[in-house]
Amino acid sequence: MAQKEGETEQWCVKTGDNFGAKAMPGAPAPGGGVVVQVREKKGPLRAAIPTMPFPLAVICLFLNTFIPGLGTFISAFTVLCGARSELIPERGVCCVFWLNVAAALIQILTAVIMVGWIMSIFWGMDMVILASQSGLFTLLSLLLLTIHTWSL
């Protein structure tokens, strides 16, 4: 059971005589137990989702909601424009671009049976979550979005 104390995350561990002893993740626990950290393992398609500026991620979510796969297809080109992805260091920009294009095609082709449409919406939501966690929602992005809105 994880508990937050200040800035440090503590884990309660059940080991031998010491039930509920506190230890840091990855460190040996009192009584000989080991604290295990859990990390989400993403597949290649999910890891290829680019981290974009927040306004662009919202636009891609909007497009994915109404035209399945279109926002994902546009996000593939952001990889070529410098958007980061977890998979780029391992596979390279070109491979990540084609993985995003493949994801867009899967969404478009399976939209007929609703699977692609639902996948497309979740994909767009992941784009927005990645953008909001990355801190790319800067004052400049907000300013550009405001200018664009006023120009309409």
Residues in Cβ contact with 96 at an 8 Å cutoff, skipping those fewer than 6 apart: 48, 50, 79, 85, 87, 88
Task: Give the model confidence (pLDDT) of 114-145 as tens digits.
Answer: 999 999 999 999 999 998 887 755 655 666 66
The Cα 71–Cα 150 span in angstroms is 23
How high is the pLDDT of residue 142?
A: 61
- In three-state secondary structure terms, 57 is helix
pTM higher than the cut 0.85: no
3-state secondary structure the chain: CEEEECCEEEEEEEECCEEEEEECCCCECCCCCECCCCCCCCCHHHHCCCECCHHHHHHHHHHHHHCCCHHHHHHHHHHHCCCECCCHHHHCHHHHHHHHHHHHHHHHHCHHHCHHHHHHHHHHHHHHHHHHHHCCCCHHHHHHHHHHHHHC
Task: Give the model confidence (pLDDT) of 9-67 as tens digits.
Answer: 444 444 444 444 455 665 665 666 666 777 777 888 899 999 998 889 999 999 999 99
